[in-house]
Amino acid sequence: MASPPLLLLTDIRVSLGSVPLLDGAGIGVGAGERICLVGRNGSGKSTLLKIASGEIAFDGGTRFLQPGTTMRYLPQEPDLSAFANTMEYVEDGLGPNDDHYRAKYLLEQLGLTGLEKPKNLSGGEARRAALARTLAPNPDLLLLDEPTNHLDLPAIEWLESELKSLSAGIVLISHDRRLLEKLSRSIVWLDRGQTRRLDRGFAHFEAWRDEVLEQEERDFHKLGRQIAREEDWLRYGVTARRKRNVKRVAGLAALRQAKREHNKQGEAAKMGAADAATSGKLVVVTDKISKSYAGRPIVKDLTLRVLRGDRLGIVGPNGAGKSTLLKLFLGQEQPDSGELKLGTNLNVITLDQQRAALDPAVTLASTLTGGKTDMVQVGEQSRHVIGYMKDFLFKPEQARTPVGTLSGGERGRLLLAAALAKPSNLLILDEPTNDLDLETLDLLQEMLGEYPGTILLVSHDRDFLDRVATSTLVAEGDGKWVEYAGGYSDMLAQRGHVLAEPVKQKTTARTAALAPTAAPATGKMSFKLQHELKTLTAEIEKLHATIKKSESILAEPGLYNKDIKKFKAASNALTEAQERLAVAEERWLELEVLREAG
């Protein structure tokens, strides 16, 4: 008989009034397992994780925690108000036998000193302190609710590396596809109050989900049951939307190629573009602009042209000057030197990541209509508010729901709906993916693909940048910004290395040996590189087979207790294969970019 897992939730039931939120949900976590918990905003993921942590009670079902198991839970909104500084907060989470030096080490790795006062912390700094508190005890189980929210890219990449190195069982809620793909080995999908499990990594989730929904739809029709049209669209339309997004990849590739060609043009072409400024083709033009604060360079000698229809991703560590850069581009601040010109007839819409524009007392419908009518003016078209709400995955009965009762993801969706209804030709998105579920991210990507104007996107979501951006502007340090054609992965391939990091990164001999030599960004491919590109496909297939085999071994019930050597060997093989696969795929992308440029 297999030994029980470290944590087991069975037939969990929770109701909000008369409406069931969880109706028979469950999850089991064994030693060393890495599970991603996915589901739509408002489906109850955070509630299930709070029940798992023992934070809240539940109406029915059972919760079992193996005696002696140490567990740590990372909430979405940590509260540090009872502590004098961040060090005291982190050390308060340690047990009597835990290493207090690790608390200091983690704070340093996350860019904190331990002396910060809670009242002075930004959202990102509070999240870093909470991460240090969660990771410091080296627990047997980690329950992480949106750990990357408000973290910059260097911190996200550090967290990814740190979690990979742990032997703890992990349950992870996140909208960050890249993080889920690299960390997860199993998926628990929470849908309509119940859970389904797939013992494969997140890369397989969307195809599996679509198969489940398509089969369910066929079964409903076979039984002769009528599905409400709005539910049919909201749930089974996921597959159609994803397929449309796949079709847009070719269009995005064409835009990126056009951006590469534009960047290669000489001065004669630039003069021609300047002559066309009155037509609105130029949105932002900078010529060697610089901006400093208290002697610190924020922008130095930046020359950039943002054309109508461009989707410019802006990335860099917190404090690099992304907000200042946006203010310069919008004419809200002036450069210290250099020349900056804005295009004509700009109509700007800004999405505030703090969502301060939403009144919690106003209903969802009134937020969209202004409360005077049931119609929403979307460009030149007038639409009924219920129909427009459905476009953003809201149900008709939510029309009279106060904004204050919506989840964080639902408020983000509402803000998108309100912003995109207004006429604009320049859209400013500041961390638009925070709190959004995967289906909403697909929806947002689709809408941005159809947006006829220009987009300036500040984001730490690597996958979203790859899906949306036609070019990426990166902070290289000391006020230097460099534009690369393509999304985040394209930028990495052209730079040959990751972003400069303010926090220390752990490196090992194995990861150093795995690191590929960077391909040059321009020039024709040598015969050696052409041969390497051809052989990479076979290597990637072999690594996928190794990963599948290791996952199959680790899925054996009770393996950890029956044969710990076999468990460790399979776990090590899986980790190494995943690392090699990530490197191989990045190398393949580098060579593909080089081949296209040649």
Q: At which residue do the structure tokens 């023992």 appear? A: 54
Q: At which residue do the structure tokens 């340690």 appear? A: 94
* CA dihedral sign of residues 552, 558, 561, 562: negative
**pLDDT given at position 212:** 86
The CA distance from 261 to 90, in Å, is 51
How many Cβ atoms are within 10 Å of 27's Cβ, its own excluded? 22
Class of the domain covering 7-205: alpha beta
**pLDDT given at position 266:** 40
What pTM did the predictor assign? 0.68
CA dihedral 86, 92, 98, 102 (to 10 degrees): 0
pLDDT by residue for the chain (598 residues), tens only, comes to 345 689 999 999 999 777 789 999 999 999 999 999 999 877 889 999 999 999 999 999 999 999 999 999 998 888 899 999 999 999 998 888 888 888 999 998 888 999 999 988 877 788 889 999 999 988 999 999 999 887 888 888 889 989 998 889 999 999 889 999 999 999 999 998 999 999 999 989 988 988 888 887 777 665 554 444 444 444 444 454 555 455 555 566 666 666 665 554 443 333 222 332 333 688 899 999 999 987 889 999 999 999 888 999 999 887 788 888 988 998 889 999 999 998 888 888 887 655 556 888 899 999 888 887 888 888 678 889 998 888 887 888 888 889 888 877 778 788 888 888 888 889 998 888 877 778 778 778 878 888 888 999 998 889 889 888 999 999 988 899 999 988 888 888 887 655 544 444 333 333 333 344 444 444 456 666 777 777 887 788 788 888 888 877 877 776 766 777 787 777 778 877 877 877 777 677 667 666 665 5
436: its two tokens: 């959004």
> What is the CATH code for 260-347+424-495?
3.40.50.300
Q: Three-class SS string for 356-392?
A: CCCCCCCEHHHHHHCCCCCEEEECCEEEEHHHHHHHC
Please, where in the chain does CATH 3.40.50.300 lie? 7-205, 260-347+424-495
**pLDDT given at position 255:** 66
The CA distance from 22 to 51, in Å, is 11
The CA distance from 179 to 199, in Å, is 17
* CA dihedral sign of residues 564, 566, 570, 572: positive
**pLDDT given at position 500:** 45
Burial 277-311 (b: 16+ CB within 10 A, else e): eeebbbbbbbeebbbbeeeebbbbebebbbbbbbb
18: its two tokens: 């008369």
The CA distance from 452 to 311, in Å, is 11
Task: Please state whether 42 falls in left (phi above 0), alpha (psi between -120 and 50) or beta.
Answer: left
**pLDDT given at position 268:** 32
Closest by alpha carbon to 27, among 53, 55, 59, 57?
Answer: 53
Dihedrals phi, psi of 596, to nearest 5 degrees: -65, -40
**pLDDT given at position 185:** 92
- How many CA atoms lie within 13 Å of 41's alpha carbon, on the beta-carbon side? 25
Task: Output DSSP code: residue 232.
Answer: I
The CA distance from 410 to 442, in Å, is 14
Burial 480-511 (b: 16+ CB within 10 A, else e): ebebbbbbbbbbbbbbeeebeebbeeeeeeee
Closest by alpha carbon to 319, among 348, 298, 305, 340?
Answer: 298
* CA dihedral sign of residues 360, 365, 369, 373: negative
Please, where in the chain does CATH 1.10.287 lie? 509-597
The CA distance from 319 to 151, in Å, is 12
The CA distance from 236 to 393, in Å, is 12
| The CATH fold of domain 509-597 | Helix Hairpins (1.10.287)
